[in-house]
Amino acid sequence: MLLLVAAIGKLAPTIDVPKGTRIVCAFGAAVLLFLGWRWHAAPEPKPRPDPHPTEIQGDVVDEDGRSVADATVSDWNDAQSTTSTSSGAFVLVISGTGPRVRLKASKDGYSPWNDWVAVASDRIRVPLHRLPPLPHLQPTHGQAIWNRSAGFPVHLASRAIERLATHAPDGPTIATALRGFHGSGHVSLAEAKSILAYLGAPISIEGPDFVGGILPTGTELTIWVRTYGKRHLYGVRYGAPAPGRPYFGTNDTYFEVDARDLKH
């Protein structure tokens, strides 16, 4: 309607239109221009924060149902977080959520957890599975040997892989992750590269008898073939990828893996 009025106002001087009609048309055009300016200039309204935060209550437990204290529980984006008490209980305050929210929990020595939970739940249960110590990882003259024959739970391999993606590595976690690797039973540089790919470590350094890769946390993991002249063993070290690789010269993180134990 306003467009029609404006058109009439524009044509009014060239056609025989009463003076009153011309005034009305000019006024309509002015109103139209004003509304158009307001439409472009008006700022978008900012979303209001949720005035009613929601409390999610729950308990962090291990695989045996025992309370896990000092575990970090947070939303997926780490906008809000809390820590479980000595009894494993926690209260997480969140805002602006729908009927479900994705939470995550972690603690050193445990496999990380994440899942979608209903906001309206009375109390949620967060299970953290402990990463057990590696059997037969015993220092011998600065070295450590991993023996697969100890009956280590193979199903924990995927959990160890998840942990390596978010936590600083350690010998037991790396060795646990290797439980899921399907090797040939023979030591080779090509298989060492496959091991790094399996662990999520793109190759960063390579030599005639070793290859290294960077884990998601930034730590470098290096594998030697036929380490110390032992034709069935891989030697593993890990450390910061600093110039000169200082961790190459120490056995602080060194352990050995028998290639025959990697064959399923």
Kindly report the CATH number assigned to the domain that includes residue 96: 2.60.40.1120
- Pair 155, 121 in one domain: no
End of a domain among 84, 111, 130? 130
State pLDDT tens for residues 52-67. Answer: 678 899 999 998 899 9
Q: Which of 264, 211, 255, 253 is nearest to 233 (CA)?
A: 255
Average of per-residue pLDDT across 20-27: 60
Q: Which structure tokens are listed for 133? A: 């110590």
Q: How many domains, in total, are found in the chain?
A: 3
Which amino acid is residue 90, in one-letter code? Answer: F
Residue 47 placed within a domain: no
Verify that 222 and 239 share a domain, yes or no.
yes
Which carries the bigger pLDDT value, residue 151 or residue 90? 90
Last residue in a domain, options 130, 164, 184? 130
Q: What residue numbers bound the domain in which 6 lies?
A: 2-41
Q: What is the C-alpha separation between 120 and 55, in angstroms, rounded?
A: 9
Residue 188 placed within a domain: yes
Cα gap 39→181, rounded to integer Å: 62
**Residue 28: predicted pLDDT:** 62
Q: For residue 244, give the amino acid letter.
A: G
Domain presence at residue 49: no
Q: What is the mean pLDDT of residues 227-238?
A: 87
Domain boundary among 130, 158, 192: 130
Residues 156 and 232 in one domain: yes
120, 185: one domain: no
One domain, residues 167 and 225: yes
For tokens 């437990």, what's the residue? Answer: 61
Q: Are residues 79 and 163 in the same domain?
A: no
Average pLDDT, the chain: 77
145 and 256 assigned to the same domain: yes
**Angstrom distance (rounded) from CA 218 to CA 239:** 9
Cα separation, 149 vs 69, whole angstroms: 33
Return d(Cα 170, Cα 173) in angstroms, integer.
6
d(CA 235, CA 103): 38
Asked if residue 180 and residue 94 are part of one domain, the reply reads no
Q: Decide if pLDDT at 97 tops 60.
A: yes
User: What is the arithmetic mean of pLDDT over 30-51?
Assistant: 55
191 and 207 housed in the same domain? yes
- Eight-state DSSP code of residue 150: G
- pLDDT tens digits, residue range 239-251? 988 888 888 888 8
**Which residue type occupies 83?**
T
Domain check: are 126 and 21 in the same one? no
Are β-strands 255-258 and 143-146 bridged in parallel, bridged antiparallel, or unpaired? parallel
pLDDT (mean) for 139-161: 53
* Nearest Cα residue to 92 out of 65, 110, 72, 77: 72
